Structure 1
Amino acid sequence: MTSTFPARRRMIVGGALSALLLCASSPAFADEVKLPEPGVISVSGEGVANVAPDMAVISLTVLREAETARAALDANNEAMTKVLAAMKAEGIAERDLQTGAFSVQPRWVYPNNKDGENQEPKIVGYTVNNTLTVRIRDLSRLGAILDSSVSLGVNQGGDVVFTNDDQESVRETARLDAVAKAKAKAEAMTGALGVTLGRITQISENTYSAPPMPMARAEMAMMAGKAADSVPMAAGENEYRVTVSVTWELTQ
């Protein structure tokens, strides 16, 4: 009969050796070398780009009232059809004409209650609003287009926002300015401390634009009563700002 003792002995010895190897390689037994983490510096820079607008976005609203919804809608359709035809005659492309809002609403009258008697509100007519958003790429025609639209029946709206067709190229100019300012600020600070900039670890940006304020709606309503060859306009400049935040490691 063959004895199993030698085999068991080999298993015990092997297990002991494995345990010793694991203990020798564990963090509790091995020497650890920790490198110091590099210092960092975070700096922000703001870039600004000013450019004259090359496009205007306006809203033109036709409002019509009548005793019935059908009559109000017919009157509104007639006026808006003329406005659309006039915009196309001015060279406005189809892609630059878009209906912004449309509504049909009843006009209610709420009688005063007398002698404790509750009187039900009554519908005395209907109002139809149709708003057209127009992008005008030839700013020299803006005043004349506004004037002609009022003559054709536009009696609300007129909000004017001056903007730029290619805003990204303008923001790129502001972005590069922001990065240059951030780097210059960081180099000035590290130079004073006797250290240098290392690798970049993080970059972020925030962009916004500050176009001129749009015209008030009330002004457009008042224009209907004025006669003029064209509405005077001042486009001014649009301002685009980009803020860039950059974090560098420091080399000492």
Structure 2
Amino acid sequence: MTDTAQPYGTPDHPRLAVRGEARLQFDPEIARVGITVTARGKDRRAALDDLTRRNSAVLELARGYGEAVEKLETGAFSITPELAQRGRDEKIRAYHGRVLITALLNDFTALGEFTTRAGDLDMTRIDGPWWSLRPESPAHGEARRQAVREAVQRAREYAEAVGAQLAALVELADLGAENAAPVAFARGYGGAPPPAPGAAGGAPALDLEPQAQTVYAQVNARFIMTPPKL
């Protein structure tokens, strides 16, 4: 019968438990930009017309960058009445409209120009960029492999310190390295797309530096080692 039911091993087959960790940095792969389009009008229809026109201008601008803008998503839309501050009657003073748009870019050369041009549009606010790695990025796997290698190396050093050697791996427990929050970004796939119509004479493009992403991984490892020479 083996000693697998004995969590602490035996004198002839001592167990060794270690934790391996890795913290690696990578260039970001994608950037998200939040775009808020607003409008204000004295009546609901005027506010909606202005909001629709400005929203279309943002979408047209983004689509002009081709594959550099990987995804466009419309989030919240709202049209809100503004009541007059004086008087008891519910008199509407104006209407406020808002649309939230998220753009996902994979070309960081185009990113600076796109954010500048979008921010130059009427009643348009820009937030970001937020840099990240893709969920399926090989960077996450590399961090996990590095954590395992670090665990094996640490266990080997502990075993050698008591005159023993590693004999077998008993358990390798993932602590959720795939859930680590990225902090860096990878470079874009190439140069920027041709300028969209009307780019000439606009505001100069922002020079944005991608923020390095940190991928963190942890793993617990348990080994059986040869009898130590104490």
Q: TM-score, normalised by structure 2?
A: 0.75
SS of equivalent residue, structure 1 residue 209: coil
Choose which of 206, 217, 223 in structure 1 pairs with 2:176: 206
Pick closer, same or farther for the CA change 1:89–1:154 going to 2, 3 Å. farther
- Matched position secondary structure for 2:52: helix
1:186 counterpart = 2:158: no
Name the stretch that deviates more: 74-83 or 203-212: 203-212
Q: Distance in 1 between matches of 2:75 and 2:128?
A: 12
Give the distance between the partners of 2:67 and 2:117, measured in 1 at CA: 14
Match of 1:229 among 197, 204, 207: 204
Structure 1 match to 2:25: 50
Distance in 1 between residues matched to 2:2 and 2:71, nearest whole Å: 63
The 3 A distance-change label for structure 1 pair 60 and 92 is farther
How far off its partner does 1:236 sit?
3.2
Structure 1 residue 84 displacement after superposition: 0.8
Q: Which residue of 1 aligns with 2:16?
A: 41
Q: How far apart, CA to CA, are the structure 2 residues paired with 1:94 and 1:202?
A: 40
What's 2:57 paired with? 82
Structure with the larger RCO, 1 or 2 (CA within 8 Å, 6+ apart): 2
Match for residue 195 of structure 2? none
Offset of 1:179 from its aligned partner?
A: 0.7
For 1:125, the aligned partner's letter is A
Q: Give the C-alpha shift of residue 53 in structure 1.
A: 1.8
Larger % of helix: which? 1
Q: Residue in 2 aligned with 1:242?
A: 217
Cα deviation 1:114-145 (Å, max 9, x = unaligned):
xxxxx466532221111111111111011111
C-alpha RMSD over aligned residues = 2.8
User: Where in structure 1 do 4 or more consecutive aligned residues deviate above 6 Å?
Assistant: 33-36
Distance 2:218 2:123 in 1: 41
Deviation at 1:79, TM superposition (A): 0.6
Unmatched 5+ stretches in structure 1: 1-32, 113-118, 213-226
Q: Residue 66 of structure 2 aligns to a residue in which SS?
A: coil
Inter-CA distance 87–60: structure 2 relative to 1 (3 Å threshold): same
Superposition TM-score, scaled by structure 1 size? 0.69
Displacement, 1:152? 2.7
**Unaligned stretches of 5+ in structure 2?**
185-201
